[in-house]
Amino acid sequence: MRLLAADIGCLRLIFASANSLAPAVRVASASSLTLGGAFSIIGHPDLPDYRDITAMLDYGYIGFFLLLGIIMVGGGYAISWLIRPKRKPSSAQTMAYECGEVPIGEATHQFNIRFYLFALIFVVFDVEVLFLVPWALVFRELGWFAYAEMIVFILILLIGWLYAWKRGALEWM
């Protein structure tokens, strides 16, 4: 796909005066426009559509920056791989670090699921506050329908909280 700058300038001149296209006004070298697209502009089958050219140039910019990004990331990985120290780590370097203490037991110790449930319930109610504060600030402008929606929202969360409380998810060990 090659496109000469003179051809684009000539095409802009032609398309600026689309009503007065004469057979004498043509691109100097129509063979330099090898775009492979549809060549149909206002009765001139040998000239490409200007919108096709600009769309192809836009995709060219996207492709260029995508390729540039891939090269930059790959180059960073390649450079770090080339300049890294090439030695085997000692047993002290591969040991798990636990606040300066020598680790006791296996590193794959399973934690009680209650810790995760407690954290998840905290996140749910924390997000509820994120919804309640902006709603409370504009409550008078929203009307009764928004009030009813918020009551339903709070009831759903209250039912979930009661279920978690009944199942013992809120009991600390």
Assigned token pair, 17: 């005066």
Assigned token pair, 56: 């192809």
DSSP state of 88: P
pLDDT at 8 > cutoff 70: no
pLDDT at 132 > cutoff 70: yes
Section 31-49 average pLDDT: 50
Contact 35, 52 (CB under 8 A): yes
Secondary element (H or E) of residue 45: none
- As beta bridge partners, residue 13 has none
Contact 47, 31 (CB under 8 A): no
In a domain, 96, yes or no: no
158: Cα separation from own chain's centroid: 35
In a domain, 161, yes or no: yes
For CA atoms 128, 133, 134, 139, give the dihedral sign: positive
Only one residue has tokens 């600030």, namely 137
pLDDT at 74 > cutoff 90: yes
Per the structure, the complete domain to which residue 21 belongs is given by: 5-63
User: What pLDDT shows up at residue 79?
Assistant: 96
Section 7-23 average pLDDT: 45
CA atoms of 124 and 163, how far apart (whole Å): 14
**Position 107 confidence tier, pLDDT thresholds 50, 70, 90:** low
pLDDT, averaged across the chain: 74
In a domain, 83, yes or no: no
Q: Which residues contact 32 (CB under 8 A, 6 or more apart)?
A: 2, 3, 4, 7
Among 86-90, 132-136, 169-173, the range scoring the smallest mean pLDDT is: 169-173
3-state helix, strand, coil in the chain (%, to 5): 65, 0, 35
pLDDT at 64 > cutoff 60: yes
In a domain, 92, yes or no: no
Section 72-77 average pLDDT: 97
**Position 71 confidence tier, pLDDT thresholds 50, 70, 90:** very high
In a domain, 39, yes or no: yes
Selected residue with higher pLDDT from 163 and 55: 163
Q: How many structural domains does the chain have? A: 2
Among 104-113, 126-135, 137-146, 159-168, the range scoring the smallest mean pLDDT is: 104-113
